[in-house]
Amino acid sequence: MKTCIEMRRDNLAKLIKQSCGIESLAERYGCTPAAIKTWLKGYKDSKSGTPRGIGDAVARKLEELTGKEIGWMDHDHDNPTSLDDTQKLLIQAFPLLHEESRDSWIFTAKKALEKEAEEKRIAA
């Protein structure tokens, strides 16, 4: 399973492609292409030595500028067992189920889907 940092970097790469390049996305964001590259590659901060990630404010602004829904940057869009799609289907299928029970069921279903996807990857 990918971390949030990995998902945001992968999704930034998708936004770059959809925006026709780093320069175009940087212009829309109001920053330099070097800043976008820093987020994409996770270069280390020269002062602290920690990798620079895409923070919440940057992620939300990128989503807004590119017409994505809030939270889009935080999801793995390459994983067909994404909780988003599963959750939507389950909520539609069980609209009267108590929220706590539904959330527990969704969590269990997500884990089962993740396990199945992992077994398929191992078998391939």
Q: Would you list the domain boundaries of the chain? A: 4-74, 83-123
- Residues whose CB falls within 8 Å of the CB of residue 87, separated by 6 or more in sequence, listed in order: 106, 110
pLDDT level of residue 62 (50, 70, 90 thresholds) = very high
CA 35/CA 97 separation, integer angstroms: 46
Q: Which two three-digit tokens encode residue 45?
A: 């901060």
Read off the pLDDT band of 2 (50, 70, 90). confident
Report pLDDT for 8. Answer: 94
Rounded CA gap, 77 and 61, in Å? Answer: 19
Q: CA–CA separation, 29 vs 33, rounded Å?
A: 10
For the stretch 7-53, pLDDT in tens is 999 999 999 999 999 999 999 999 999 999 999 998 888 888 888 88
Please report the pLDDT score of residue 13 as a whole number: 96
Tell me: pLDDT of 69 over 60: yes
Phi/psi at 14 (nearest 5 deg)?
Answer: -65, -45
Predicted confidence at residue 95, as pLDDT, reads 56
Domain 4-74 class, CATH top level: mainly alpha
The secondary element (H helix, E strand) that includes residue 93 is helix 83-93
pLDDT the model gives residue 1: 73
pTM greater than 0.85:
no
